[in-house]
Structure 1
């Protein structure tokens, strides 16, 4: 006979544990089923093992979704400050890095331990190493794993997206959603390095070189570091832009975000004996400066260069066009853009509108944050929204 619970949460990641803890502390009998051998595997590797657990500035503008308004409700009701209070109540020391990113002083293990503590307060049962064999719906949900069957009137899909498959990530959330007739927004890798081919392979020669730039893809622009790799482009500025980039589109890099106007004409007036290569070397890593100067082909001293040529070179340096030939895929993607369509869900409770008792939270849903703690904040906020409704 099937064991009975009030709610079954599939997935012991950030969103699943947060949801289970909140529901358990509200008196619900909650079971969490996790395929991996231990909970919170993605949390443990995040932020270089220190877990960038939220971003103090997190708001709806920092998220991509087919419906940009969907995330507003959950994010407003459970904020980064709320999560920070929880972190502090567990005595976890933290620090702020650039751009509002908050990290543990110690280890990401502290965040997992905190979530497990919160689950324990609500008598949540967590079973790891459980492979779901089938999920059936009648007047509730019956979940069968290799070790038995359990039932509950509510089921929460918190199994994440397919990014980082070596951590055990799969597209199971989408299979389950389709089983219940929920639409899926086409998933694609996000926060992922981009690859270069053709003539741009030349830039692979400076693999390992990093520089502060501003990147643009679509209408989005990010001023952070870019890193040249043996396959193409990476670094925070590129990862951010990759979420907005679509195959076939160009990516633009401003190599001199501090400069404006006709800056090379000004340089000509101030230092007529300087060359473009030398001038760039004062502002950028030498190998990058050399490759840009080479591509621009302006080898004469500024004083001997036509104004038109200097103006054109300046414009290119401010908006250098790359034509990536792809991404490094889900294997290297930190998160997934797309997922269970928000049109199918209540923005207040994360409940499926057409399937009573079914919920979807976290990365499984078509809400994707920027790099820098935003995806964790969505996990906490959507988890709390569902946990309050169960």
Structure 2
């Protein structure tokens, strides 16, 4: 996006160093290959990071502006549930739109960056030689999805240039389970609508039971905010307990509104024998309350290969949100996920990447004009 914006303004002395054989590999695999490119509603509340920094960048480039940009390039993402915009055909639509107008010579593909030196300019050492640059933009992402090239090289480069950072950790990822919840593994492939309380957040969506534990949109969203400890799952998220079990003559299991196998194992896990609602005593009702706030401590997560993003990154107090320029070095910039800003599931991380790129492009344009006067 940065190069696209600058090329549009006539600045073509740009190279894009990419260690993959083509650009946009993470875009290509995102959203099940359809790329959840943005969300209808985006604010700093959808992100972990310094809120004022995030807000300032997001206000500079809205989802509507991103959609207009794509529409002008014949890409028309469609809105789905929860305000999420996906490509109609494939993520290649977004990649192709970003490549429009950029010379093929600008792309230095299959080239690995080894180190960077700051002298009069920036010396970028790669496995195929050294590149000199007056301006340097580090937009290397995180080490989520290492199978398509995700790495923490950006943090190493930032450190060498004097910046501080928080190491990456996988988020937007499924959870493994403790022994007490091994019964969940027997439900692999089954899904149900839940809410999950984690810290100060309540997240809604589908929970998917998997061989390793639990996944699905609700879990992935909750994983962004989880720190070691308990979370609480509401398996009856669509109604209150009294509303759910309103028919006194019927069995508890038939009124839960859940797949039969899940109802059976849930009742076993809370040690409640299936019976008619009218036969429930006070202690039974206390056990049923656990279905609205089922406590569990995830054992861990599915790891970087399954994570859609990472928390951590270059500390934003060392970067100017009006330009994305380093406060330590002139003409050094940081964009996207390499910064210590992470969005929720639902297109927020792409919106952050594009917004930060546009902010940087605007600042670079002004700098380049000033230099050429």
State the TM-score, normalizing by the size of structure 2. Answer: 0.93
Partner of residue 58 from structure 1, selected from 18, 42, 48:
42
Q: Which residue of structure 2 lines up, in the alignment, with residue 39 of structure 1? A: 23
Task: Give deviations 1:91-117, integer Å, cap 9, x for gaps.
Answer: 123211101111111121111111010
In structure 2, the residue corresponding to 1:39 is in which secondary structure?
Answer: coil
The answer to whether the aligner puts 1:256 opposite 2:247 as a matched pair is no
* The one of 292, 295, 320 aligned to 1:346: 320
Shift of 1:285: 1.1
Kindly indicate whether the alpha-carbon contact (under 8 Å) linking 2:241 and 2:292 is maintained by their aligned counterparts in 1. Answer: no
Asked if 1:377 is matched to 2:361, the reply is no
Counterpart of 2:107 in structure 1 is 126
| CA shift digits 1:131-158 (9 cap, x unpaired) | 1233111122011223232212211111
Q: Residue 209 of structure 1 contacts residue 287 of structure 1 at CA under 8 Å; is this kept in 2?
A: no
Structure 2 counterpart of 1:277 = 253
Q: Tell me which residue corresponds to 1:362.
A: 336
Provide Cα deviations, 1:1-28, integer angstroms capped at 9, x if missing partner: xxxxxxxxxxxxxxxxx11222333343
Alpha-carbon distance change, 284 to 272 in structure 1, aligned in 2, over 3 angstroms: same
Q: Is the 8 A contact 1:21 1:124 kept in 2?
A: no
1:251-284 Cα deviation digits (max 9, x unpaired):
11111112226446xx3xx53332222222xx01
Counterpart CA distance in 1 for 2:43 and 2:15 is: 31
Quick check: 2:115–2:157 contact (8 Å CA) kept in 1?
no
Aligned twin of 1:145: 126
1:270-323 Cα offsets, whole Å, 9 max, x none, are: 53332222222xx011111111112231333222221x2243133211110111
Q: Which residue of 2 aligns with 1:90?
A: 73
Counterpart-to-counterpart distance in 2, 1:291 and 1:46: 33
Indicate which of 305, 309, 321 corresponds to 1:331. 305
Query: What does residue 299 of structure 1 align with?
Result: 274
Q: Contact 1:140–1:357 at 8 Å: present in 2 too?
A: no
Kept in 2, the 8 Å contact 1:240–1:371? The answer is: yes
Q: Would you say the 8 A contact 1:337–1:368 is kept in 2?
A: yes
C-alpha distance in structure 2 between counterparts of 1:22 and 1:92, whole Å: 17
Partner of 2:14: 30
| Residue equivalent to 1:68 | 51
- Tell me if the contact between 1:95 and 1:102 (Cα under 8 Å) persists in the aligned partners: yes
- Give the Cα–Cα distance (whole angstroms) in 1 for the partners of residues 101 and 201 of structure 2: 37
- 2:214 aligned with 1:233: yes
Q: What number of residue pairs does the alignment pair up?
A: 362
CA drift of 1:345 comes to 0.6
- The corresponding residue for 2:152 is 171
Q: Which aligned pairs between 1:136-215 and structure 2 lie closer than 5 A?
A: 136-215=117-196
Give the secondary-structure state (helix, strand or coil) at the position aligned to 1:213: strand
Query: SS of 2:53's equivalent?
Result: coil
Q: Tell me the SS of whatever aligns to 1:379.
A: helix
Stretches of structure 1 lacking an aligned partner (at least 5 in a row): 1-17
Equivalent pair of 1:263/1:314 in contact (CA under 8 Å):
no
Task: Please tell me whether the aligned partners of residues 30 and 124 of structure 1 are also in contact (alpha carbons under 8 angstroms).
Answer: no
- The answer (yes or no) to whether the contact 2:67–2:77 under 8 Å persists in 1 is no
Check the 8 A contact 1:20/1:124 in 2, yes or no: no
Tell whether the 8 Å contact from 1:189 to 1:336 is kept in structure 2 after alignment.
yes
Q: Is the 8 A contact 1:24 1:124 kept in 2?
A: no
Query: TM-score under structure 1 normalisation?
Result: 0.89
